[in-house]
């Protein structure tokens, strides 16, 4: 979306429209590079442009101050807040995307058990007819790799740790409920 601003010429009283360039949402940026919504957010988090807030990745205050993007906290037309990346932010991301992706891959490969878990999840997802939600991925990882920390699971599925924590608590509550119900008879 093309962003503009208006500037008032105090001498003539005319408004001048200044073109700020093409700003894109985080998801649109991910599509440009062939990355899914979760993956691009994970990449930008690794780069330090996004932080986790209430289970969602949002632009950091520092990124906004540097002119890398803009937060829309109370949008009029959209139900949820969203962020857009400025042309400058897009340039910074393009320049750094390669090393960030390599760094993220090295982190996963540095621990053989994480690499095995990632491959196991990928194999399982490939066999399914429908896509898995993030909650399904968290539950699957906790069932098959119970020794992994929430941070490790979050890194493997490219989700915020707070979201993994929420889904882990939900799973524990559901299991507890079913165990009590089964014991009651």
Averaged pLDDT in 10-residue chunks for the chain of 185 residues = 75 79 89 88 89 85 93 79 91 92 76 85 91 92 91 85 90 92 86
Q: Residue 1 has what pLDDT?
A: 67
Element (H, E) at 52: strand 50-53
Quote the pTM value.
0.60
Q: Give φ, ψ of 144 to 5 degrees.
A: -90, -20
Helix (H, G, I), strand (E, B) or coil at 50: strand
Give the residue carrying structure tokens 């090393």. Answer: 99
Give the residue carrying structure tokens 């949402």. Answer: 25
Task: Provide the Cα torsion 4, 10, 13, 16; round to 10°.
Answer: -20
CA distance 127 to 87: 39
Largest interatomic CA distance in the chain: 84
Give the residue carrying structure tokens 């906790």. Answer: 142
Q: What are the residues whose beta carbons fall under 8 Å from the beta carbon of 139, sequence distance 6 or more?
A: 167, 171
Q: Residue 60 has what pLDDT?
A: 93
Residue of 41, 36, 57, 42 lying closest to 125 (CA atoms): 36
């Amino acid at each position: 979306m093309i962003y503009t601003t208006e500037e008032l010429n105090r001498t003539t009283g005319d408004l001048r429209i200044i073109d700020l360039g093409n700003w894109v949402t985080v998801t649109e940026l991910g599509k440009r590079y062939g990355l899914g919504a979760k993956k691009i957010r994970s990449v930008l988090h690794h780069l330090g442009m996004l932080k986790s807030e209430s289970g969602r990745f949002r632009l950091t205050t520092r990124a906004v101050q540097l002119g890398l993007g803009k937060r829309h906290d109370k949008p009029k037309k959209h139900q949820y807040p969203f962020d857009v990346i400025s042309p400058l932010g897009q340039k910074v991301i393009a320049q750094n995307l390669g090393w960030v992706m390599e760094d993220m891959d090295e982190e996963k490969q540095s621990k053989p058990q994480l690499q095995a878990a990632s491959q196991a999840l990928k194999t399982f997802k490939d066999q399914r007819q429908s896509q898995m939600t993030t909650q399904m991925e968290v539950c699957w990882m906790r069932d098959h790799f119970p020794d992994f920390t929430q941070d490790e699971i979050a890194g493997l599925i490219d989700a915020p740790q707070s979201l993994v924590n929420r889904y882990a608590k939900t799973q524990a509550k559901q299991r507890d409920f079913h165990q009590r119900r089964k014991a009651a008879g």
